[in-house]
Amino acid sequence: MRKKLVLVPAFILSILLLTTGCQAYGSDTPEEQTPEAQPPTVQGGGSVPDVITGLTVNEYDGLDISVNVLERMAILPGNVFQATVLVENNGDKTVSFVQGSGSFQTPEAIFLYSDTLQTIIPQDHLGIMTMDFVTQELKPGESLLYKLDVIAVKPNPDFDAYTFEMFDEGTYIGDMEWSVMQERFPGLVAVEPGSYSLKAYFLYRIADENEQFAAFEGPTGYAVAESIIGIS
């Protein structure tokens, strides 16, 4: 993958948290209704981050994206867990995307979103960072793989501030035990046991060899994948 650099400040993707309802399905008659016949209710999944407004979903159909959570043990309310995001370019075109600061390991163009679970800022996006603005290219046959942290608590508008506060004290909030985090930040509320929607997004634009700096104009399309997370 090729890097392109220009000295302008990096931007930060904003996320708008919205809430949505869900449906439960059953049979027409009480006699036919059984627990096995009714799938678990999934919390959230209906709203979208405002950063994709104006972008075209699957503008390039050569991209495949997935998000998976592989946990050996059950995820409990308040637990931090990792989601693995895989983006593969299986088509015949090159796409460009924003890495952000040159000190970032996790691209700004890849992020998690949930309106019912709290996502965590990647650790490499905290602390001192270079002020260069970097774009990358994903060529045919190449792939991207990143692991991002999520915590099984309800989204909180102050969580990012808590994350920076703890990092300034030398601790990544994703490494904290729930009991310690809750004592430090009593406004955080663990989710109830159930099934929750978690989505991964990848923002990009189809690369144009005749426009060397087109990537700096921002993404034009996005790919999205969803995973259902079980909280015990």
pLDDT at 190: 98
**In CATH, what class is 4-9+40-231?**
mainly beta
Judge whether residue 34 has pLDDT over 90: no
Pick the more confident residue, 42 or 29.
42
| Cα-trace Rg, the chain | 19
Whether residue 83 contacts residue 69, with contact meaning beta carbons closer than 8 Å, is answered with yes
pLDDT digits (tens, 9 = 90+) for 114-167: 999 999 999 989 988 787 888 999 999 999 999 999 999 999 999 999 999 999
Whether the per-residue pLDDT at 28 is higher than 70: the answer is no
Q: Which has the minimum average pLDDT: 38-47, 65-74, 95-104, 166-175?
A: 38-47
* Three-state secondary-structure class, residue 204: strand
pLDDT confidence of residue 177: 97
Q: Is the pLDDT of residue 176 over 80?
A: yes
Give Cα separations from 117 to 31, 43, 51, 151, 197 (angstroms). 36, 9, 18, 7, 8
Strand-pair category, 221-231 with 56-57? parallel
Longest Cα–Cα distance of the chain, Å, equals: 68
pLDDT at 14 over 60: no
Is the separation of the CB atoms in 137 and 96 below 8 Å? yes
The DSSP H or E segment spanning 180 is helix 178-184
